[in-house]
Amino acid sequence: MALPLPRQLLALALLLLAAAPARAQDLMHQLSALTADSLRRDYVVATFKGTRVINGHSVETPGHGSLLFLISHRFSRLNSGSYEFFGLDQATIRLGLEYGLTDRLAAGVGRSSLEKTVDGFVKYKLLRQSIGAGALPVSVTLLATAALTTLNFGPQPERSTASRVTYTFQALLARKFSPVLSVQLMPTLLHRNYVDLRRDQNNVLALGVAACQKLTKRFALTGEYYYLLPGATAGDYRNALAIGFDIETGGHVFQLYFTNSQGMIEKFFIPQTQGNFFKGDIFFGFNIFRSFQLHTVR
């Protein structure tokens, strides 16, 4: 039997009142989700494939508890001729370890065969590029290194330990413009406790620029250039130039490159590069990275 009209209106009103809390609660959930999304900050990752671009450092650091073993190998000049097998008969090598003390702080040590040099560094990721609330357009990593030459200089008067040390300070500023393109700037101050000649500079200023163009998921083209600011060092030496390829294979990253610098740490490739890249003074080399997770963060 049909209800009288007033009772129908009353039943409809009761149904609407019963549904109102559920609809209001659903609306509140939607508003909360929108608010959370508007306040969320997402960090940009993998600006570069490894902790090195080619010669120099990138803004990347090993993750917390991650130990990175780095093998750097560089042959001699390609234009040395067939007698030297186009540089393959001679080589320099560096072995290094890098450890992530936190996700943002890392430390490392290494040993190069060139001048029997021992080096160490501390690296801190100060700012991270992000999107969303309070977005930051760039990543900034601070780097401080020290290198000690242990080479026996022969008949020369014995040099003190302090005179054998070179320090480098860098601010690494990088931006990942797209999933396939990253660019980095590296303002650099290098201090040498000892120089051979009075006209040589103890303090050397340089500005580096680097880029990584991703070609496929595991393959990227890289480039790096360090410009020496005017001074005696810039007049006596050349700017370091390097181009290469990054190949990622699971836990390994292989870097193959060509550069006009023989050394593999800042002490050598920033103030002591002698080769003319465009006249064949090119050194072929490679870096191999292997990561080991020593500590799992819960």
In a domain, 253, yes or no: yes
- Residue 155, domain CATH: 2.40.160.40
Q: Give the Cα separation of 233 and 60 in Å (integer).
A: 29
**207/67 same-domain check:** yes
> For residue 266, is it within any domain?
yes
Nearest partner of 234 among 263, 203, 209, judged by Cα: 203
**Domain extent for 1:** 1-39
Which residues share a beta bridge with 227?
Answer: 207
Which ranges in 46-153 belong to alpha helices (H)?
A: none
pLDDT by position in tens, the chain (length 298): 454 556 666 666 665 566 656 565 666 666 555 555 556 789 998 899 899 999 999 999 999 999 999 999 999 888 888 888 877 888 899 999 999 999 999 999 999 999 999 999 999 999 999 988 788 999 999 999 999 999 887 777 777 889 999 999 999 999 999 999 999 999 999 999 988 877 889 999 999 999 999 999 889 999 999 999 999 999 999 999 999 999 988 767 899 999 999 999 999 999 999 999 999 899 999 999 998 888 765 5
Tell me, yes or no, whether 83 and 108 share the same domain: yes
Is the same domain home to 181 and 268? yes
Domain count, the chain: 2
Q: What is the pTM (predicted TM-score) of this model?
A: 0.83
The confidence score (pLDDT) of residue 244 equals: 96
Cα–Cα distance, 112 to 105 (Å, whole number): 23
* Residue 85 counted as domain residue: yes
Q: What is the pLDDT of residue 9?
A: 64
Residues 48, 110, single domain; the answer is: yes
> What pLDDT shows up at residue 219?
93
* 150 shares its domain with 8: no
Same domain, 82 and 187: yes
| 163 and 204 part of one domain | yes
pLDDT value at residue 198:
76
User: Could you tell me where the DSSP H helices lie in 167-286?
Assistant: 232-236, 266-269
Q: Same structural domain for residues 146 and 163?
A: yes
Pair 141, 259 in one domain: yes
Which residues face 77 on adjacent strands? 283
d(CA 94, CA 74) in angstroms, rounded, equals 9
**pLDDT at site 89:** 83
Residue 197: partners with Cβ closer than 8 Å, 6 or more residues away? none
In a domain? residue 223: yes
- Judge if 17 and 52 occupy the same domain: no
Look-up of token digits 């020290």? 146
SS3 280: coil
The answer to whether residue 298 is domain-embedded is no
Residues 140 and 13 occupy one common structural domain: no
Question: Are 34 and 136 contained in the same domain?
Answer: no
Please count the CA atoms within 13 angstroms of the CA of 67 that sit on its side-chain side: 8
267 CA to centre of own chain: 18
